[in-house]
Structure formats: structure tokens, C-alpha cells
Homo-oligomer: A and B are copies of this chain.
Amino acid sequence: MTAIHPANPASKPSSPPQPAPSWHGRDLVGLQGLSRAELVSLLTASRDAAHKIEQNALDPVLRGRVVATMFFEDSTRTRSSFTVAAQRAGASVVDLSGGSSSVNKGETLIDTARNIEAMGVDAIIVRARQSGAAQIVAQAVACPIINAGDGRHEHPTQGLLDTLTIASRFGRDSTFDLSGLNVVIVGDIASSRVARSGIAALTSLGAHVTCVGPSSMAPSSLSALGCAVAHELDPLLPTAHAVMMLRIQFERADTDTPTGNKSEQVKKSVIASIREYRRFYALSAERAAKMRQGAIVLHPGPINRGIELDADVADGPRSVIMQQVTNGVAVRAAVLSLLVGGPRP
């Protein structure tokens, strides 16, 4: 653990304590636009849930409630994390992800959500390919909607779990003040809902966030999100407190895949792209060695070992990747409890 002396104390909240914002009955579509107090209330509840889960003392505040998962894009890990979180908090979970391919059109998305709501579920967890899908669903139904990732837009519980993981390592108190912290996000930021949610939460809490990648993946227009943009990773490593690696999606060059009948030309081209990417942006063991003492490495998973992140780093002492997974359940249990718990309307 490295104690952080805030570089900019003025960024700490100086206002008197406010009543915690109420989340009951609300949606969680994104972290952009949330007030600092709202973020702190979500993180505080998440930290509490993490402690209680660790002590097997989480209150089953969702007993008797039914939560629906509606994933129009496959993600066993995220769906499972929400499912475990809901079950730990006492809820039943019904999965409505079947036949997903036919329900990716806007109208059917709304139709499906309205049907699920009409079944009397207490909340719907939505993942979809289209940016903005969660907001569309939230406007169509009255029950709380939790965005589990919509296109390139947001993945708010991922942003919260990343922030909680960083804050748990470096944050000093219940304010979740992250001023003085340098966070570097590496990869295809432009396409990443994970980055977008993370940037929103981290910058709002005072962290200095730099997005790094080739200009196609990290265009300078990203600075509108409140972060810095860079195209070289190496100069940033010595001062970064946390490095968040994103998953890189190259067309696979494997010969043992169903698409293994690719031409040699395409295979070589993919391998060349990966080699080029690794040269500048992969967090190799060599690069990780340049990081400051106590600095940590995050990855939303699943990892492409040997592509954006070396196995030695993923499993090494700087890695907090498993802590992210554990915090994911806590964040999701806390969010569900805040939005759905308490007396039914």
C-alpha cells in the first residue's frame, strides 16, 4: 500500500455533510452526469457490501424479490457476477437472455423489456450491442434498469468496481477522494464503455486520468471526457499509480478456430498488427518493472494473455484483477440493494 498525499487538496469536498442521495427506484444507466455525492454514495454502499460479504454477513434485503437479466450480447462473466450478487442479497434471478439474436432491433428491445416488467420483476439488468440501449429501455419501463454494458456507451458497475478497487488501495477515507492519483487507461478507448464509465467516476473523484493508445484508438477528442490523451505508454509508467489495460479485439490468427480457413495473407496481417500493438502498448513484464512501487494493474477481463497483458504481470504482485472480480459482486449487490431494496412501491 502506498499512502497518497493529495497533490491538489482544493479538490477535496469542503461542503458540510449532505444526506446520502436516495437511489430507491432509480435507474443506473451510466456514471457520466452523476454528482460526486452520488458516486460516493454508490461506492460507500459497495465498500460496505464488500466487507459484509467477506464476513458472510450481507443482509438479504432483496429476499422475495425477482431480478431479471436480459443480455442481448453474450457475457457469462458479467451475467454471473450480477446473478451471484443478487442471490447473495437474497433475490431470485430469472435469465431472459435466450434467443438473443432476434431481439437486437430497437422495437423488440422495448417490447421485451415491457414484457419482463409486466411479469412483475423488481429490476432488469440489460446488456445490449447498441450504445444508448439501456436508456431506451429505462424510458420504456418503470422498474429500475441497471446497464450492464451498452455498445460503446457505458458499463457503470464496471466503472464503480474499478474505482472501488483503486480507492481501496490508495484512498484514505470515506470521501473516496482520489486527487493526486494518476490513472492510465491503455487500449481501444474510443470503443470502450469500460473506459468511458471509469473516466467519468475517476475524474469526478479527482484522479488524473490519461488515455493511451494509437490515435485511432485514443483520439484527442477523448479529452472532452475530462482526461488527458497520449500515444506513448512508456513515459507514463513511472508516475502512474494504476494502469488499467483494456482487452484488445484483434481478428484471431489461430488456425484451430472455425475461421481457420483464412488466407495466409490475413493471418500474417493479424500477427503483424498484434506485434506492432504489443511493441508500443502491451503491458509486458519489462514495462511493468518500470512502474512505481505500489502501483497496480487492472484489467476488466477476459485477458488476452500475451497480447495486451503478459501472464507474469496478470498473475504478479501488482495485479488486482481478482480483487476487481470480487469487488464486482459487492458493487452489484450494493447497487441492486440501493435501487430495489426496502419496501416495494
Tell me if A21 is interfacial: C-beta within 8 Å of chain B.
no
Query: Contact at A80–B96, with CB atoms within 8 Å?
Result: yes
Tell me if A121 is interfacial: C-beta within 8 Å of chain B.
yes
Query: Contact at B88–A66, with CB atoms within 8 Å?
Result: yes
Which residues from 55 to 92 on chain A have a C-beta closer than 8 Å to any C-beta of chain B?
A: 56, 60, 64, 66, 68, 74, 76-77, 79-81, 83-84, 87-88, 92
Query: In angstroms, how far is the closest chain B Cβ from the Cβ of A227?
Result: 28
What is the interface residue range for chain A against chain B? Answer: 35 or more
Tell me if A94 is interfacial: C-beta within 8 Å of chain B.
yes
Query: Contact at A302–B111, with CB atoms within 8 Å?
Result: yes
Which residues from 106 to 165 on chain A have a C-beta closer than 8 Å to any C-beta of chain B?
A: 107-108, 111, 114-116, 118-121
Can you tell how many copies of this chain the complex includes?
A: 3
What is the bound-complex CA distance between A53 and B118, given in angstroms?
Answer: 12
Query: In angstroms, how far is the closest chain B Cβ from the Cβ of A53?
Result: 6
Query: In angstroms, how far is the closest chain B Cβ from the Cβ of A76?
Result: 4
Query: In angstroms, how far is the closest chain B Cβ from the Cβ of A109?
Result: 12
Tell me if A189 is interfacial: C-beta within 8 Å of chain B.
no
What is the bound-complex CA distance between A91 and B98, given in angstroms?
Answer: 22
Query: Contact at A92–B87, with CB atoms within 8 Å?
Result: yes
Query: Contact at B84–A115, with CB atoms within 8 Å?
Result: no
Query: Contact at B76–A99, with CB atoms within 8 Å?
Result: yes
Contacts of A344 in B (CB 8 A): 56
Tell me if A322 is interfacial: C-beta within 8 Å of chain B.
yes
Question: 1/0 per position for A313-345, CB-CB distance to B under 8 A?
Answer: 000000000110110110000000000000010
Query: Contact at A329–B76, with CB atoms within 8 Å?
Result: no
Query: Contact at B87–A119, with CB atoms within 8 Å?
Result: no
Query: Contact at A107–B301, with CB atoms within 8 Å?
Result: no
Question: 1/0 per position for A194-219, CB-CB distance to B under 8 A?
Answer: 00000000000000000000000000
What are 16 A-B residue pairs whose CB atoms fall within 8 Å in the complex? A53-B120, A56-B344, A66-B87, A74-B99, A76-B99, A77-B96, A77-B115, A80-B94, A80-B116, A80-B119, A87-B92, A87-B94, A114-B322, A115-B302, A115-B322, A120-B329
Chain A residues proximal to chain B, CB less than 8 Å: 53, 56, 60, 64, 66, 68, 74, 76-77, 79-81, 83-84, 87-88, 92, 94, 96-99, 107-108, 111, 114-116, 118-121, 301-303, 305, 322-323, 325-326, 328-329, 344
